[in-house]
Structure 1
Amino acid sequence: MSRPRIVIVGAGFAGYQTARTLSRLSRGKADVTVLNPTDHFLYLPLLPQVAAGILEPRRVTISLTGTLSHVRLVLGEADSIDLEGRTVQYTGPEGEVGTLPYDRLVLAAGSVNKLLPIPGVAEHAHGFRGLPEALYQRDHIIRQIELAATDDDPKTCAARCTFVVVGAGYTGTEVAAQGQLFTDELVRQHPLTKDIRPRWILLDIADRVLPELDERLSRTSDQVLRQRGVEVRMGVSVKEATRTGVLLTDGEFVDTRTVVWCVGVRPDPLAASLGLPMERGRLLVEPSLQVPGHPDVYAAGDAAAVPDLENPGKYHPMTAQHAWRQGKVAGHNVAASLGVGTRRPYRHKDLGFVVDLGGVKAAANPLGVHLSGPLAGAVTRGYHLAAMPGNRIRVAADWVLDAVLPRQAVQLGLVRSWSVPLDTASPEVARVPGGPEKPRAKADGKPQDEGTGGAQQAQQEPAKPGPAEMSGGPARTADQPGAPDAGDKPGPVKITDDGPDVSRRPDGKEGA
């Protein structure tokens, strides 16, 4: 008799934890396959430190084959799911098409960039959802400071040194906080003329920074940003983006070559393609994470609308801490369906948040205790180390080196502007000329749920901590649903390519 075939679509917080749990519980009783476009799990909460040159890119990636024993990895992106035939159709990294049959399916496809119908944003803004985007932003920021240092035109120099971050949720707040420190250090290496200083502007339609958090955390974060020199402008967003700057909703035009789009995410369209009952783009599931009417199909993470048993009538938000813990429950319940253990519902209570503000500064309220300054910074970093499923020593070593040595401010030139567009459904993979590409995410002005891309939430559970909370792992969420410009996730900016960023484009012409 053949062993049951389990297919897990996606290796984000939910998919990775599902696979890890199943690899431990199945013990050879099932064939577990993970379908994912990359060979690693990405620890999203530390991406701002990659963009700021603190951590090397591989520090925030966890090898799937190296950490998931008895799990088969198939590189590719799911195109469609045949529920009747129990198969998953996918496209591989080189365009090859394949089919994976399953007896149990776990849909953990995650989310894609949230686009809004704002003129010029898709063409002139870059996001912060995946590793390629973080690497692009790092090179781009360094390039703008280097070009500004040799520019004789004060207006152009000031525009290159102006960085606009749209969305004051977790990701946007952390990007602005780390970015201001990074550019200040770059200017010490590349002095600017005419008393020009790097200018970071954080915009949000909300009335305060981190509107979804406790007001004390919001106030602490706001104070740190302002003391550092970041212009925090609430109630203001982008009306139009152009190659030379952005027009704000208050009528001001800001000259800039950099727009970082952190305005939230929406569930991967793969979930909606199943034609099953949905809740704001997410697949409705039972507390056991099973899809009603399809007991062999489970969904977790951003793709699933999981009932909140602590608050009847509501659903858990799209955050990394929920995705991480839902993955664990999904793994247990799939194993239970094979006769290993018993099925359990998903329950979860938030016990606090941590927000990394760069340097030794942070804001945190573990178990409701409000912390700020260096103590909060120590708690935040300790939390990240406990939450990461690997690379802890390497991450700690990079932090120590960053504290005692100057950062290596050099452009690697590995990711170009056109390879990380905002209108992509695959922000985790850089676009290559002639390569396969999923259908792009369309602009949508409708309210959306949050997604795993912003802060870290602290919680407690007897198991090892996962990436979403203080005792579980860092969570990233987007901003308030429906807020036109507040949130947390990535997008692309063509504004930046009039210097040494020259490469061959997909159409074969020279240029960025």
Structure 2
Amino acid sequence: MASKRVVIVGGGFAGFETARSLLKSLPEGSDTEIVLINPTDYFLYLPLLPEVAAAVIDPRRVTVSLPAALPGVRLALGSVDKVDLDGRTVTYIDPEGGAHELGYDRLVLAAGSVNKLLPIPGVAEHAHGFRGVPEALYLRDHIIRQIELAAVTDDQAERDARCTFVVVGAGYTGTEVAAQGPLFTTAVAERHPELRDQKIRWLLLDIAPKVLPELNPRLSKTADKVLRARGVEVRMGDTVEEATADGVQLKSGEVVCTRSLVWCVGVRPDPVVEGTGLATQKGRVVVEPTLVVPGHPEVFACGDAAAVPDLTRPGEVTAMTAQHASRQGKLAGRNVVASLTGGKLRKYKHHDLGFVVDLGGKQAAANPLKIPLGGFPAKVVTRGYHLAAMPGNRVRTAVDWLLDAVIGRQSVQLGLVRAPHVPLDTDNPEVPRIPELPTRR
């Protein structure tokens, strides 16, 4: 093989697995260069972020060093600014604002997704996003601060507002955040005798008719039961119509005084996709079953950024899940090598193996191989799945889980809260912008 360069945009599940697959699939002695462009120097194991926010595990457990995990892959630290399909170049901006250009022989678009915003007044300004480590740690600090500020005020209305937490979105992330929340706030409040008789409210809102609408009714009911048993106010068919610094107004007309609005409504493909000028379907690049972009045999796309035809469900595209992204990344790597060596490209076809939802404590909901489980058996399956799926830090994560069960969680502020919120309106969820604004009263 002559010297070639493969550029991968994004180091999430799809991009990480693409790079790893390329390393395994390239012929021995190949001088093909692999370049991975990513805003951070780590792969983020996103499913465990709720446990980071709830102080169950250390944030380093969900981050795996890209240079360490992918020896032989050159990391280009930055965010893609422009893709020139005709010139076969990619321009990216590094963390210090410098612009760089890379030529490519093969391009893999695996940019992933960002927070999904809705045109609701005040949400972008006052809600907390939940797509990266900085946002999870920021939320953790914010929750601790609200409990601690509630403990020192004599104003009952202010205390009630600070002890009220609203989560919007009853999908996987929102459900896990709402389930972990009461356990976390109870642990923090126990250290403040002033809050002994104070009610701490957690609300979970969604316009969907049930919690976890993606799962079968049995698993949905399991999660709903756990949430309600922990005191979470599950409000299906309701959502936020307006958000302010002091609270939210719901679709039902109720006004909830709160300083904490957690936005877990969903995700949308990274905006870099639309900037390529390629055909899209609901913001995702249209691709063939081989993950090749029609009309551009040198360009591949996978993961949340790609509308991959679901051959197990004709007429539909694969869901935006880590399960699909990982498997598509593996195939993308193999197909890129095949395209360079004249081999045959394979089509993507994968049947869902089930899903797991960690509900905190000893509770979880799972359906491995379509077998619905709840309670402790589901917890064992859920944690076993995560340990198997993580590309690193397995032992450290297991130790953190053990320590949490034996001696409890650490809950101190890390000094991240300098402003009322981490804005949601950012295209880069890994590096949220924290403005210098006065702290809320």
TM-score clears 0.5: yes
SS at match of 2:3: coil
Moved more, 306-315 or 188-197: 188-197
Name the CA distance, whole Å, in 1 between partners of 2:9 and 2:433.
21
**1:327-383 deviations in whole A, cap 9, x for unaligned?**
000000001112286421100101222110001100111122221111111111111
The residue aligned with 2:212 is 210
The residue aligned with 2:392 is 390
- Cα deviation for residue 215 of structure 1 reads 0.4
* 1:154 is aligned to 2:156: yes
Paired residues of 1:419 and 1:431 also in contact (CA < 8 A): no
Q: Equivalent of 2:440, from 467, 483, 498? A: 498
The residue aligned with 1:455 is none
The residue aligned with 2:23 is 23
- Written as runs of structure 1 = structure 2, the 5 A alignment for 1:107-506 is 107-193=109-195, 195-339=197-341, 342-414=344-416, 416-417=418-419, 420-431=422-433, 497-498=439-440
Cα 1:243–1:419 change in 2 (3 A) is closer
Name the CA distance, whole Å, in 2 between partners of 1:131 and 1:340.
41
- Cα deviation for residue 432 of structure 1 reads 6.3
User: Structure 1 vs Structure 2: percent identity of aligned residues?
Assistant: 65
Cα 1:9–1:237 change in 2 (3 A) is same
Given residue 290 of structure 1, which amino acid in structure 2 is its aligned partner? V
**1:94-120 deviations in whole A, cap 9, x for unaligned?**
000000110000001111211111111
Paired residues of 2:168 and 2:265 also in contact (CA < 8 A): yes
The residue aligned with 1:457 is none
Name the CA distance, whole Å, in 1 between partners of 2:29 and 2:128.
44
Moved more, 388-397 or 262-271: 262-271
Name the CA distance, whole Å, in 1 between partners of 2:417 and 2:289.
41
The residue aligned with 1:52 is 54
Given residue 257 of structure 1, which amino acid in structure 2 is its aligned partner? R
Name the CA distance, whole Å, in 1 between partners of 2:194 and 2:175.
26
Name the CA distance, whole Å, in 2 between partners of 1:82 and 1:192.
61
SS at match of 1:89: strand
Paired residues of 1:8 and 1:35 also in contact (CA < 8 A): yes
- Cα deviation for residue 2 of structure 1 reads 5.0
- Cα deviation for residue 416 of structure 1 reads 4.0
Name the CA distance, whole Å, in 2 between partners of 1:432 and 1:234.
32
TM-score with structure 2 length normalisation?
Answer: 0.96
**1:154-179 deviations in whole A, cap 9, x for unaligned?**
11111101000001111000000001
Paired residues of 1:133 and 1:420 also in contact (CA < 8 A): yes
- Cα deviation for residue 406 of structure 1 reads 2.8
Moved more, 336-345 or 212-221: 336-345
Moved more, 274-283 or 117-126: 274-283
Paired residues of 1:41 and 1:62 also in contact (CA < 8 A): yes
The residue aligned with 1:453 is none
Q: Would you say how many aligned residue pairs link Structure 1 and Structure 2?
A: 439
SS at match of 1:80: strand
The residue aligned with 1:444 is none
Given residue 9 of structure 1, which amino acid in structure 2 is its aligned partner? V
Cα 1:433–1:140 change in 2 (3 A) is closer
Cα 1:416–1:105 change in 2 (3 A) is farther
SS at match of 1:345: coil
Name the CA distance, whole Å, in 2 between partners of 1:79 and 1:194.
52
Cα 1:275–1:426 change in 2 (3 A) is same
- Cα deviation for residue 401 of structure 1 reads 0.7
SS at match of 1:240: strand
Paired residues of 2:423 and 2:434 also in contact (CA < 8 A): no
TM-score with structure 1 length normalisation?
Answer: 0.83
The alignment's C-alpha RMSD in Å is 1.7
Paired residues of 2:45 and 2:62 also in contact (CA < 8 A): yes
Name the CA distance, whole Å, in 2 between partners of 1:415 and 1:79.
29
Name the CA distance, whole Å, in 2 between partners of 1:248 and 1:179.
21
- Cα deviation for residue 271 of structure 1 reads 1.3
The residue aligned with 1:478 is none
Name the CA distance, whole Å, in 1 between partners of 2:135 and 2:194.
26
Cα 1:134–1:416 change in 2 (3 A) is farther
* 1:83 is aligned to 2:85: yes
- Cα deviation for residue 28 of structure 1 reads 4.7
Moved more, 377-386 or 402-411: 402-411
Name the CA distance, whole Å, in 1 between partners of 2:157 and 2:273.
47
Given residue 21 of structure 1, which amino acid in structure 2 is its aligned partner? S
The residue aligned with 1:3 is 3
Paired residues of 2:358 and 2:364 also in contact (CA < 8 A): yes
Given residue 147 of structure 2, which amino acid in structure 1 is its aligned partner? I
- Structure 2 residue runs without a partner (length 5+): none
Paired residues of 2:420 and 2:439 also in contact (CA < 8 A): no
**1:296-319 deviations in whole A, cap 9, x for unaligned?**
000001111111112221111111
Name the CA distance, whole Å, in 2 between partners of 1:384 and 1:192.
38
